[in-house]
Amino acid sequence: MRRVYLDHSATTPVDARVVEAMLPYLSEKFGNASSVHFFGQQARAGVDRARREVAALIGARPQEIVFLSGGTEANNLAVRGIAEASAAYGRHIITSQIEHPSTRGVMDALEKSGWQVTRLPVYDDGIVRTEDVRRAIRRDTVLISLMLANNEIGTIQPVAEVGALVRELRAEGRRHLWLHTDAVQAAGRMTVDVELLGCDLLSLSAHKLYAPKGVGALFVRRGVRFIQQIVGGHQERERRAGTESVANVVAFGEAARLAVEEMAERTERTRRLRDRFEAGVEARIEEIVFNGNRQQRLPHLSNISFRYIEGEGLLINLDMQGVAVSTGSACSSGSLEPSPVIRALGRTDEMARGSIRFSFGKDNTDEDVDYTLEALTRAVENLRRLSPLYLESRPVPPALI
């Protein structure tokens, strides 16, 4: 049986070149990057190089990069850190209805402690409107947090337009209004430039870039002050305590360097494969809905709802045929609730529960697409035969009338 991995939005396989770069820091270059002796300085040199490489990925300065454990911690540190530092100026935050669970979770926690959160709609195309952001801003608004690209449907949000709005308001005297964006899904799959975006904080995660899990980064623009959430050490310019995971940080840096070099090629390849896949699905399977704007989205991702089918059943059926996909965010795995992202598009619970995310990677092939289309067609046909609602919707054969 062929094995096809189409869940690159959940995680990516570690590139062999990334493994090669990190291996020395698991053996002879094992020092603590905070130590002053030779071994420590070897490790520090690796961290410093990685900081430059990650900064180059997003057009930032190296000193504006904070290494931490991953995208979830980056989102938590950005949102809670800014909120706690800015509480004297206001206790209102603006976000969207389709943020990653790590952002939604910290917003929910802040609400329980007296903060007010405005969650903007994304309409049927999955995109926030900049005019809605403008209307939602109040005198006590201190933070706007919008993801750059959604992890389930891939839609790209107008963060640069919101950044221009924030700069405009700052010029008018709103000095304590900050903009954070979760770029975990976007980085390496589209051009990300913190100057063009106008953001003050930006979250990254290495394992979406063909590097290991357990390391991420937060861009913090020079001059932005926030309250650190992990204390007890002087690492990362006292913005995040804890000994750096040197080998993982080095791997992140190498993955970022390769992403910059190969982005155009990877983007063209995954877009071509995804479009070929979607054309095949449209030709073979009826009663489907593509979720989110199909132009303003990431090049590697396709989210489709299949009527009369539970997404979990389709996922399991495909897995039994060797095809790995997802029903949504890996961080929400195990939840029986319909995807809040798909529901935010105005879809019914049935359509939300029947949604599947297919996310392509740089090493997928045309043969992977062909095999997946065959497996998907069989799976949908088999599952719909078991659906009373589907069978009731079919026209009665003339011979039975």
Q: Give the burial class of 264: count Cβ atoms within 10 A of its Cβ; 0-12 exposed, 13-18 middle, 19 or more buried.
A: exposed
CA quadruple 132, 133, 136, 137: dihedral sign: negative
Q: Identify residue 197 by its one-letter amino acid code.
A: L
Q: Identify residue 91 by its one-letter amino acid code.
A: R
Neighbour tally for 349: CB within 10 Å? 12
Question: What is the edge-to-edge ordering of all strands in the sheet holding 92-96?
Answer: 65-68, 216-220, 201-205, 178-182, 141-145, 92-96, 116-120
The pair of three-digit structure tokens given for residue 277, joined into one six-digit string? 């896949």
- Nearest by Cα to 331 from 202, 148, 185: 185
DSSP conformation class of 220: E
φ, ψ for residue 196 (rounded to 5)?
-70, -35
DSSP string covering 91-128? -EEEEETT--HHHHHHHHHHHHTT-EEEEE--TTTT--
Residues pairing with 76 in the sheet:
none
- Alpha-carbon distance of 149 to 156, in angstroms, equals 4
Angle, CA of 151, 154 and 160, to the nearest 5°: 100
φ, ψ for residue 338 (rounded to 5)?
-60, 150
Active site residue 331: yes
CA quadruple 384, 388, 391, 392: dihedral sign: negative
Evaluate whether 47 touches 67 at the Cβ level (below 8 Å): yes
**Residue written as tokens 């938590």?**
76
- Classify strands 4-5 and 116-120 as parallel, antiparallel or unpaired: unpaired
Q: Which of 331, 363, 387, 390 is catalytic?
A: 331
CA quadruple 207, 2, 326, 272: dihedral sign: positive
SS3 217: strand
Annotated catalytic residues are 331
